[in-house]
Amino acid sequence: MTPDPATLRALTQRLAVEQSTSRLPSVAAGIVRGGELVWSGAAGTLDGQVGGTEPSSDTQYRIGSISKTFVAVEVLRLRDEGLLDLADTIGTHLPEVPFGHVTIAQLLTHTSGLQAETDGPWWERTPGGDWTSLMAPGPRLRFTPGTAFHYSNVGYAVLGELVARLRGVTWQDAVRDGILVPLGMTRTTTRPVEPAATGLAVHPLAALLHLEPEHDAGSMAPAGQLWSTVGDLSRWASFVGGHTAGVLAPGTLAEMLVPVAVNDVPTSAWGGAHALGWQVWNVGGRRFAGHGGSMPGFLANLRVDLETGDGIVLMTNATSGLGTATTELLDLFREREPVLPEPWHADAGQLAAIDLVGPWFWGTYASTLSLDADGGLRLGEPGQGRGARFRRQGDGWIGLEGYYRGEPLRVERDPSGVPVRLVLASFVFTRTPYAPDVDVPGGIDEQGWH
């Protein structure tokens, strides 16, 4: 699609305001829809000086913790290939770690309890050592695994080593060959490749700049080493929106985006959670996924609306100061360029399940079973009580959400083929409350209804 010229002007204006009011040396952003980059813009100069070089969609910025999402996807690719299980303890694959009972899933979701940072110098500003030196102090658990969300950069260093150990190459090579090359992300690298922005700090009380160091983080690199561009990172946003180009099975991507660990702030209602490598936000009833990133001299954001696939990427070469441009740019775009709904049309394919629709009773609780546009079943209203959607799996159905997520639904028919029982996670639904002519667990009292 091509946005209206007025929309393009409004987006450019909003980005320029962010660069000016937040005092960012430079900022670059892009918006994706339908798997394509439909707008990109930039403001400021790479060195923060008048007359300096302006950024473009091909300018590299360090993306910090967005790097973790690539590591996580590679871990899930290994799982899908049968080389690991998310329930495996990390000690199964890396026997030298002193927290061997922690699971791979816990490391992915920041619920391992592992310490947040290294025991050495501030790793984000100093060159990193190798794996042996990272493990030498014996990284410790701060919480019992599985009991709390605790963001751990060290945990992703461990996952990077896991990828390297199972692939037989460095984690960087594994990510490059398995993800970046197939997606055409040729400008995403572990060290800057020109044109690239310089990492800068802006004095909080003066119009002055300070150069931030650039280095190889060594064993900590999986936690925040990658550099990318608006052009490349927009492909990654499209990936989150479902355009995986065969790099990851659609079902696996959906699995990765299910929130697992709430990032709880005791003084306020939670607004975000962590899934298997991704951050997830619930904003006004809409689900977004992506990740933020920060390293000295750089800030980055990636956020995608999981319902529409609309997404935004934004990067700046400043240690701090970025305001609300990420969400506001995406909101502005969506307000001016609303997604048209899919047109309704008849679907004769639904005839195969039409005899299932209508009222069903679990005890005395009434629910209505209907067919969704995609051919799936809908029991009640998803998100309300035990309402849920189901998709076909073999000869039956499988729950997609809520209480019945992952639970099987089996349809039982009488000799004439009429559906008379739904068996769902051992619960039995019948066409009428405690139907006398159907086998109801516990039997039917001989008095019946009286």
3-state secondary structure of 387: coil
The answer to whether the beta carbons of residues 35 and 309 sit under 8 Å apart is yes
SS3 sequence of 182-194 = HHCCCCCECCCCC
pLDDT at 340: 87
Token pair listed for 392: 């076909």
pLDDT at 131: 97
Q: Supply the DSSP symbol for 197.
A: P
pLDDT at 41: 98
Structural domains of the chain, with CATH: 1-341 (3.40.710.10), 348-430 (no CATH)
The answer to whether the beta carbons of residues 189 and 227 sit under 8 Å apart is yes
C-alpha distances out from residue 393 to 19, 106, 342, 380, 390, Å: 50, 28, 25, 20, 9
> Rounded CA gap, 274 and 263, in Å?
7
pLDDT at 285: 78
pLDDT at 384: 81
Element (H, E) at 160: helix 153-167
Element (H, E) at 332: helix 325-336
Q: Supply the DSSP symbol for 53.
A: P
pLDDT at 364: 94
User: One-letter amino acid identity for 122?
Assistant: W
Mean pLDDT by 10 residues, the chain (450 residues): 95 98 98 97 97 97 98 98 98 98 98 95 91 95 96 98 98 98 98 97 97 95 97 98 97 95 70 94 89 97 96 98 96 95 90 95 95 92 87 92 92 95 94 92 90
